[in-house]
Amino acid sequence: MANIPGAEIPTTKLSDGTVIPMIGYGTGTAWYKRSDDGSTDRALVDSIKTALKLGYFHLDAAEVYNTEKEVGIAIKESKIPREKLFVTTKVITNIKNISQAIDTSLKKLQLGYVDLYLIHSPFFASSDADLQSAWAAMEAVKASGKARSIGVSNYLQKHLEVTLATAKIPPSTNQIEYHQYLQHGNLVPYMKSKDIVTTAYGPLTAVTKAKPGPCDTLLEALANKYYVSEGEIALRWCMDQGAVAITTSGKEQRLSDFLRATTFRLTPKEVKDLSDAGLLKHFRGFWQAKFDKDDRS
């Protein structure tokens, strides 16, 4: 087990003033359940409790993962004060009735509010009006106090522009697949210009399912320099650009090791070198059916 004295996950501030931890524990991907059959995944509950014990107070869920129940059980069993936690969930399955969807999610989570509520993807919409009406419903959720902050996920610049055109409250974050091999062209700079924080899922892709690749040599060299793993370098690359990183593991050792990403910073040149090397390859791990093979948006 990594022994990291004083390791604490740093935070950043969203546009509405909400403070969000920059590393979150995700309950999708490996933990995803295809249906909500009422069963409880005790392995997930125990893994969330382990993550909480290690200091991962940012928990990322979604109605479509069918893991909100386990998040709620883990929170209750951990006995950690609610104010120390940052809980995110997302809506897509019940996007046509967002006011009911948030109530259902809160019941499963056994919470009175979430810290962040996201529209999981823009692909439900058949028109600009669909995006705008859904966002108005999200604003109502925030006004009700059931979500401290509201945002989106998997939005491209065109979806953000449509949403912002009628928004009274702008999205505070856009959670996107983000790593060296999927940098999304102008999307992240555009988001920065609108004070929308990037949240990255799949941040370890370059060191896991996208290997081998042009970043391999540099990732290895940086891992040796900072006495960490390549995964921690990948996390740090996100954080040093102001992005929140969502990761997961069922292994306590690995979760503990990830915290080493909080103990160093990459230099601006190292961040740029990794970014430049990443542009030599394109890899999209999610939503492939929505994009052409070489579409890097």
The DSSP string of 200-250 is EESTTGGGTTT-S-TTHHHHHHHHHHHTS-HHHHHHHHHHTTT-EEEE--S
| pLDDT for residue 5 | 46
Residue 2: per-residue pLDDT: 47
- What pLDDT is recorded for position 296? 83
Stated pTM of the model: 0.93
Per-residue pLDDT tens digits for 225-235: 999 999 999 99
pLDDT at residue number 201: 96
Contact 62, 41 (CB under 8 A): no
Question: Catalytic: 65?
Answer: yes
Which residue ranges of the chain lie beneath pLDDT 50?
Answer: 1-3, 5-6
Helix (H) or strand (E) holding 105: helix 98-109
Please confirm, yes or no, whether 282 is among the known catalytic residues.
Answer: no
Whether the bond into 212 is cis, omega within 30 of 0: yes
pLDDT at 34: 60
Provide the terminal-to-terminal Cα distance of the chain, rounded to the nearest Å.
Answer: 39
What per-residue confidence (pLDDT) applies to 150? 98
Residue with token string 């909480």: 52
* 238, two tokens: 């996100």
Q: Which of 25, 56, 65, 226 is catalytic?
A: 65
Question: Which is the catalytic residue, given 25, 56, 58, 120?
Answer: 120
pLDDT, residue 31, reads: 55
Name residue 84's beta-bridge partners: none
Residue range 13-54, pLDDT digits in tens: 999 999 999 999 999 766 555 666 778 889 899 999 999 999
User: Nearest CA to 16 among 108, 128, 110, 138?
Assistant: 138
Please give the pLDDT value at position 206: 97
